[in-house]
Structure 1
Amino acid sequence: MMFDQIYNFLRYSESLSSSGMPTAEQLSEAPKHGVQVVINLAPHDVPNAIPNEGQLVNSMGIEYINIPINWGTPTKDGLDKFMDAMEEHKDKVIHVHCEANFRASAFIAMYRILGLGWTEDNAFEIMHKIWDEDAFPVWKLFIDGMVNQGSEKFLNIMLGLYNKRE
């Protein structure tokens, strides 16, 4: 199976793509596509995670970065680490993945808005091809809070209240 056939694969540019969880076989295709950095936003214990993914990626001469983002509790700290990684490697070919490309596509959209000055419409257009944050209230609150540079304290209170409902 080809690299660009990974679940929910999105190509943003010649130097940026994202997807859901690849198989080891799919990930082994990354060098053929010029990938120089893989950023995994999924925790290592998610279903279908590749055992020793970091070692596999490094063995192909590709830099591996894992920033585990809990689906139910995304954080500003996680987004800040992601934005730092994107900025540090902005001149390289980057592939970002998670489980279903929801975290990855959302973080890329927020990076484009907050780090590169994109408009929300342009930044979220590609993400909305595969999912809509309105269906996931925790993510809607998180994205709105980060994009609108709302008070982090307010965001944490709202996320805390939402999570207590369940």
Structure 2
Amino acid sequence: MIGAMRPTARALAAAAVFSFVFPAPAQAQKLPNLVEITPRLFTSGQPGADALGDLKAQGFEAVIYLAPPTVSDAVKDEPLILARQGITYVNIPIRFSDPTEADFETFAAVVSSLAPRKVLVHCQVNMRASSMVFLYRAIKLKEPPDAAYKAVAQVWSPHGPWKKLMEAQLRKNGIAFEPY
């Protein structure tokens, strides 16, 4: 389809695709690996203190942090930075090497309790966040798993304990889908 466009339209279309796949550097630094799931639900890697301080201005009302607060790149004052803005903060410290069904159930309960607020779910890189949001969408919201998984695939291809957790939770809930 792009080949049939005029050169100017083709260049604009290519620029639009490039900017979607590779966010502008300033945006990428503020919310790394940002993925918009819906206008009210986003996942990302670890925002810096400046980005956390700007979340209220972007309309965020809640943040769920899925890494232990002791990881090397955690922002020590994240709860305080968010509280000053009136943003709800919840930390579910999921060990990357050992995600559990209990972690997922806790996450699902927290996300459900925060609806319909605008929520950012983040971790260090967006691996925990994208995976837990996928499971929530497929299991709790009954979204088609292949469509929900596209947000995970933008960030990574789960393996090891994360792939096992996904497969076990999907199977337990009668969902026939193989994470790739």
Q: Same fold (TM over 0.5)?
A: yes
Residue 116 (structure 1) aligned with residue 141 (structure 2): yes
Residue 88 (structure 1) aligned with residue 118 (structure 2): no
Shift of 1:27: 1.0
CA radius of gyration, larger in = 2
User: Structure 2: 5+ residue runs without aligned partners?
Assistant: 1-25, 174-180
Q: Is the 8 A contact 2:30 2:47 kept in 1?
A: no
**Whole-angstrom CA distance in 2 between matches of 1:3 and 1:62:** 22
Q: Deviations over 1:123-155 (max 9, x none)?
A: 10111011011xx211111110011117xxxxx
Shift of 1:3: 7.8
> Which range moves more in the overlay, 7-16 or 99-108?
7-16
Q: What is the percent sequence identity of the aligned residues?
A: 28
Q: Is the 8 A contact 1:40 1:65 kept in 2?
A: yes
Q: Deviations over 1:39-97 (max 9, x none)?
A: 00010111210012111111111000000000000011111111001111121100000
**Whole-angstrom CA distance in 2 between matches of 1:101 and 1:65:** 16
Equivalent in 60, 75, 78 of residue 103 of structure 2: 78
Q: Is the 8 A contact 1:3 1:30 kept in 2?
A: no
Equivalent position of 1:159 in the other structure: none
**Whole-angstrom CA distance in 1 between matches of 2:148 and 2:59:** 24
Equivalent position of 2:163 in the other structure: 140
State the AA in 2 paired with 1:97: H
State the AA in 1 paired with 2:171: N
State the AA in 1 paired with 2:88: E
Aligned residues: 148
